[in-house]
Structure 1
């Protein structure tokens, strides 16, 4: 039985007082409703706030993740953070290959770089949240499953997880990120089932324990329908994670399934 994970990607939003208030509201709700009995929760703030957020969640069921890292261990890489540095902040997760980094921010990341970052996570003891997903043109061309196979396989070359908890996969259809559009529950399940089958060819039966999250305009009013799908194990939440009420609603939906 895979335990759901709801991970918040705060992107470049909120200031420190707002984050502290949000953490308190989320932690209080998790405790009062006993949501941690059935669901894991992670928050991924901007990197400058990793240390204070790791401190803010001490004594709670919430874990912290980074939004990105650099693949090298050290060196002349101005402005970058190594996996070891991220780990020292108290983070346990790191988002890799998010569509905004693959496609929006000057096309910074390709599959080879993401593979190297995933290997850096493994080296430092971080769990990558590996994002994969197709663009609208790829979906309309019928290439969705091929794209998912390639992205997932490329990320795991010479980097096979040893156990299910060493990897989290997030399916994020690029056309649904920040657009208000959303894959139907059936479309999400088709993609997630394909990803799990691809994982089985790569890592065998351990694939059955790997959590595959859905990311793409998840909100409290559509979360339950998505999370009931058999291969959907939670969500990578963007905009809806910036407000306590909506994020808690999504956590509650995951904990109920």
Structure 2
């Protein structure tokens, strides 16, 4: 299965900066067999990425409306992202769930909209520190997953992101990542049957060039949702090279 490095810029990079980043990547990029890069960027950056990313590098949005179209000021529809050239979109990121009070039902609605319009949703799930400290991280995450996949088809990516390891410098161990990835894989098999074997499960949370190989070396981890390390081209290439 191809490893996916989904590079989540969050609210960083103007269109001018995105263009420069893409051009720098193009000067140094060489595709690694079995590894896919995809840049998850602010909507205003997508045009610059479309025009400047090297061949073979995908891109997508960081959020999408649960609505097809209409009077939803400030929202970005799945059709708009698709028309801009996006192939992916992140839904249910922990920051959206926390700061915008997004529910599992809303995440599932966004994922369905994405799929309806030909996008692959990257559905994020994961626990906060207090949940892990109570050893409730597995049932919590699987319940979140079930709610977030209601009515969602198999053309999907799952990203497990322990909230306590995002942007904190703390990283779940490779064994921690595998524990949840394996549990997620089993839940996917129960929901989708044999087709679950083709669904990629990513780990997200302070992923860097020096830890990505160990994490992605686990049998049920098929890539990473990368935050801070996605902002600098040398770090991205370092992660890619670590997976050769």
- TM, length-normalised to structure 2: 0.96
1:134 counterpart = 2:131: no
The corresponding residue for 2:149 is 156
Give CA deviations for 1:31-78 in whole Å, capped at 9, x if unaligned. Answer: 2xx42x221110011111112211222x51101110001011111100
1:50 counterpart = 2:69: no
Query: Within 5 Å, which residues of 2 pair with 1:98-137?
Result: 98-103=93-98, 105-107=99-101, 109-137=102-130
Query: Within 5 Å, which residues of 2 pair with 1:175-190?
Result: 175-190=164-179
| Structure 1 residue runs of 4 or more that deviate by more than 4 Å after TM superposition | none
Q: Counterparts of 1:151 and 1:252 in 2: how far apart (Å)? A: 33
Q: Counterparts of 1:19 and 1:85 in 2: how far apart (Å)? A: 19
Tell me, what secondary structure is at the counterpart of 2:211? helix
* Shift of residue 169, structure 1, vs aligned partner: 0.6
Tell me, what secondary structure is at the counterpart of 1:221? coil
- TM, length-normalised to structure 1: 0.91
* Shift of residue 16, structure 1, vs aligned partner: 2.5
Query: Within 5 Å, which residues of 2 pair with 1:27-106?
Result: 27-31=26-30, 34-35=31-32, 37-57=33-53, 60-103=55-98, 105-106=99-100
1:251 counterpart = 2:244: no
Q: Is the 8 A contact 1:83 1:126 kept in 2?
A: yes
Q: Is the 8 A contact 1:227 1:253 kept in 2?
A: no
Q: Counterparts of 1:193 and 1:72 in 2: how far apart (Å)? A: 32
Tell me, what secondary structure is at the counterpart of 1:190? helix
